[in-house]
Amino acid sequence: MSHHVAPSPGGDRQGGPMSHDASYTPPLEEPTDPRGPLPPTPDTRAPEMRTATGAEAGKDPNARAQQGDYLTTAVGRRVPDTDHSLRAGDRGPTLLQDHHLREKITHFDHERIPERVVHARGTGAHGTFTAYGSAESITRAAFLKKGVETPVFLRFSTVLGSRGSADTPRDTRGFAVKFYTSEGNFDLVGNNIPVFFIQDGIKFPDVVHAAKPEPDREIPQAASAHDTFWDFVSLHTEAQHHTLWNMSDRGLPLSLRTMEGFGVHTFRVIDEAGATKLVKWHWKPKAGVHSTLWEEAQLIMGGDPDFQRRDLYGAIEGGHLPQWELGVQVFDDTEDQMFSGIDLLDPTKLVPEELAPVQPVGLLTLDANPTNFFAEVEQVMFNPGHLVPGIDVVNDALLQARLFSYVDTQITRLGGPNFQQLPINRPHVDVNDNQRDGFHQHAVHAGVAPYRPNSLGAGNPFPAPAEQGGFVDHPAVVAASQTVRAVPASFADHYSQARMFYRSMTPVEKDHIVSAYTFELGKCTVPVVRERQLQCLANIDADLCAAVALGLGLPAPKATEKVADVEPSPALSQVGKPFPVDGRKVAIVCDERSDDATVTALVKAVEKASMVPFVVGPHGGQVGSVEVDKTFATARSVEFDAIVLAGQIAPAPDAVPSYDARNGDQAALGTQTDPRIALMLGEAFRHCKAIGAVSAEAITSAGLPADAKGVVVADGAAIIDQVAELLTLHRVWDRYPTVAR
Ligand code: HEM
C-alpha cells in the first residue's frame, strides 16, 4: 500500500497521529487497562515551562497536563463512577450531598469566558524569530541583534465575527506577534492591512459598533455588507482608505500563510547612543500574498468554516513551515514627523515602498501548533505597550488609546489583573513587579516589603538604569500647545491615498473591487447609505464610481472634493509576481480505472515539488494501491489550489443515478464523468485554477475545453511540473475576462 502524508496538511487527522506514542492505535473496544495520558502530538508545543515570575521551571511542559492513570476529582481523590449521580434510590431524586456531581457540573457551568470584544475568532501557532542583525544600527533592542533567536507566539484573527464564525469572510485580519525576548515580552499587534479606519482611538467604539452585527437583530454575522457599517464609513470619510483595502483582494486572504502583516502605526527606534529613527513594521510572507475569490470564500464558509486554521495547523504538521520576513521602512525622526508629504502620525496613510523600501531585519518561522487551543490561543493577550528598550511609541492618537484599551479589556476577559501569569503570557525573564494578590494569583511571593523604597526587603527590587536593561521612555519633544480636541490639518486628506491604492491595482484586482462594492452596497437596504457611499467613490475614482453605480442602478455622482493625483505604487498589487509553491494543495482525482502506477507517480511528483497531494477517490479506503484522502462526496474544488485528473472519472456507484438526474436533469444520466467531479472541475475553471489531466478526454468528457489557458494535458508525472509552474502565479488570470478600466 502506498502511504503518503496528505491528510495532515489538511489537518483532518483521518488516520493521522493522535499522540507522540506512535505505537498506540485506538482499539474498537473501550480500553480497560489503567495507564497514563497519551503524550501530545509531535507537531505541537506548549508554552515554555516558567514560573509565574518568569523563572525556568523544569523541562517537561506536559507536567501541566492531566496526570495519572485514574479518574480523580479536581483535588486528586480517585473516582470510581462518573456516570451516575448519587440518588435516593434508582428512581429517586439526586442528593445535594453528591460533591462529585456538584464539582463536575459547577466547573462545566463556568467553562466559557467572554470572547474578545473584537478579533474574537483567531488561530495561533508557536514559532522562532531569528534576527539578521541589520537593525542593529537603528535600535538597541536585544532580540534584533545578529543571530539572536527568540521564541514567539502568533495569533491571527478576523475582526468582526464571533468566536465561532467562519474563517473566510471579507474582513481585515489581525496579525499579533508576541516575542518572548531576553528583555521581556515585545508585542507587535498588527493587521494584514497597513492603514486603519480612524485617526483617533476615541472613535474605536463607534467604528466597531457600526461594523459588528446590527444590535436589534444581531445580523449579519462577520460581515461588513450591511447598512450601519456603510452608514458610518460614508459619513466618516477618513475610513475610506481602509474600507477600500477591505473591498480589495486583501480582505479575502487565501490562507494565513499568504498574508502580509503591518504594524500600521509609526514607531520610534533608539540605538545604543540614543539616536532615533522612525519605522513602520512589515511582515512579508515567503509564500506570497494570495487571496480567495469572493465566490470561493462564500463556498468555503459553508463547506469548511475552519478552512484557514485547518490549513495553518496542517501546514505545520506536514512540515511546510510558514515563514515571514520582518522588515522596516526607516524615516528620519524629524520635528514634523513627515516623510515625502505623508504624515507619519496619521494611521490612515501608508508610505509606498517605492519611496521607502522595506529593509529585512529577521525571519519568523512558525514551527509548532498549540497543544491546547483554550490555554494558548484563547488566553494569550497582546498589548502594544509591551515594548523593549530600543523601541518606543509616537504621538499617534490611535496608538495612545490602544495603550489603555488592551490591558483594560483583558481584566474583564481574563477575569482579573493576573492574566500576565497565564502560561502563554509568562515572559522568559525574571519578573519582580511588586504587584500583589488579585484573583487567580499564581505566584507565592515571600517577604514583607512589596513597596519601594524599603529596607525590610534589603531594598529589592532595585530600579534598573538603561545600562542594566531599563526601559527609558524616550524624551520626546512635545511642542508647546494648548489642550484641544482636534487633529492636525494634514489629517484632512481622506482620499488621495485611497485613489493611489485603486490606481495601483491591475485590471483583475480593480474588477474585484468593483464587484465587492457592488455586492456590499447592494446588501444595504437604506437608499441614502448607498448614495452617500457612491459620493465617496466619486472622490476616489470616477470610473470606480461609475462601475459600482451601474450595478446598483443609480446615477454616478460627480466628485465633491479636489483630490490630489498621487503616483501609483505597483508594490501594492498582488498580481503578476511569481512565488514558491511550497505547501500548495493539489487534488489528484482517480477512480478504479485509473492506472495505479500513474496515480502513485502523480502523488510522488507533487510531494517532490514540495506541494501537498490529496488523493480524491470514489470511496474511502484505497483505490488500487493508493490511500484515498477525500472522496467525491467529501471533497470540493475550493479546498485545492489545483486539480489533476489521473484519467477519465466515471460516475461512482453512489452517483448513479446521478444527483443531477435525481433532480430531473435526465441528460445527466448519460454523463461520462462523475457529476461531483464535473462540478469540481467547473468550479476550478471558473476560479481560474490550474487544471491538469493525463488525457484530453478526461477534461472534455466533463464538459470543459482541453485547450483553454491553464488547462494542461501531459503524460503522467510531467504534468505536475506544468501545474506547479502555473501555481507560481497563484491563478490563471489569463482566463479571467476583465473589463478594461
Ligand atoms: C492600528 C490599529 C489597530 C490594530 C492593528 C489592532 C489590532 C488588533 C489585533 C491584532 C487584535 C487581536 C489580538 C489577539 O489576537 O488577541 C486586537 C484586539 C483588540 N483591539 Fe485592536 N487594533 C487596532 C486598533 C485598536 C484600537 C484603536 C482599540 C481601542 C481603542 C483597539 C482595541 C482592541 C481590543 C479591546 C482588543 C481585544 C483584546 C483582547 O481581548 O485581548 N484596537 N487588535
Q: CATH number for the domain including 655? A: 3.40.50.880
Q: How far is the CA of 161 from the centre of ligand 1 (A)?
A: 14
Q: Which ligand 1 atom sits nearest the alpha carbon of residue 381?
A: 41
Q: Annotation-wise, does 402 bind a ligand?
A: yes
DSSP-derived 3-state class of residue 377: helix
State which of 406, 407, 413, 420 you would mutate to test the pocket of ligand 1, scoring each by most atoms of that ligand within 8 A of its C-beta: 406
In this structure, are 129 and 167 located in the same domain? Answer: yes
Reported as a pLDDT band with limits 50, 70 and 90, residue 663 is low
Is residue 250 situated within a structural domain?
yes
Whether 517 has a binding-site annotation, put simply, is no
For the four alpha carbons of 636, 639, 641 and 642, in that order, the dihedral sign comes to negative
pLDDT (mean) for 382-399: 98
* DSSP single-letter state for residue 56: B
Burial class (CB in 10 A: 0-12, 13-18, 19+), 449: middle
Same structural domain, 521 and 625: no
Q: Are residues 514 and 618 in the same domain?
A: no
CA 247-250-252 angle, to 5 degrees, is: 80
- Cβ atoms of 639 and 297 within 8 Å: the answer is no
What's the average model confidence in pLDDT over 628-642?
97
The stretch 207-234 carries a mean pLDDT of: 98
Domain endpoint, select from 425, 445, 463: 425
Q: Are residues 617 and 500 in the same domain?
A: no
CATH number at residue 348: 2.40.180.10
Report whether 98 contacts 81 (CB < 8 A): no
Both 568 and 614 in a single domain? no
282 and 345 together in one domain: yes
pLDDT reading at 32 higher than 50: yes
Cα distance between residue 607 and residue 609, in whole Å: 5
Q: By residue range, what is the domain housing residue 559?
A: 495-572
pLDDT of residue 446: 96
CA-CA distance, 513 to 575, in Å (whole number)? 14
Task: Work out how many domains the chain is built from and give that number.
Answer: 3
Question: What pLDDT score does 220 carry?
Answer: 98
Q: Which residues pair with 713 in a beta bridge?
A: 693
Alpha-carbon distance of 289 to 253, in angstroms, equals 8
Measured CA to CA, the distance from residue 234 to residue 211 in angstroms comes to 12
- For a substitution probing ligand 1, which of 116, 193, 208, 407 has the most ligand atoms within 8 Å of its CB? 116
Question: Which of 515, 541, 572 is a domain's end point?
Answer: 572
Residue positions annotated with a catalytic role: 119, 191
The pLDDT of residue 550 is above 60: yes
Is 87 labeled as ligand-binding? Answer: no
Question: Does one domain contain both 568 and 500?
Answer: yes
Pocket of ligand 1 (CB under 6 A): 116-119, 122, 155, 157, 174, 176, 189-191, 196, 201, 204, 264-265, 347, 381-382, 398, 401-402, 405-406, 409-410, 413
- 116 labelled binding-site residue: yes
The reported pLDDT for the residue numbered 9 is 42
**Mean pLDDT value of segment 415-438:** 98
Rounded percentage of the chain residues whose pLDDT exceeds 90? 90
- Whether the full predicted model's pTM is greater than 0.85, yes or no, is yes
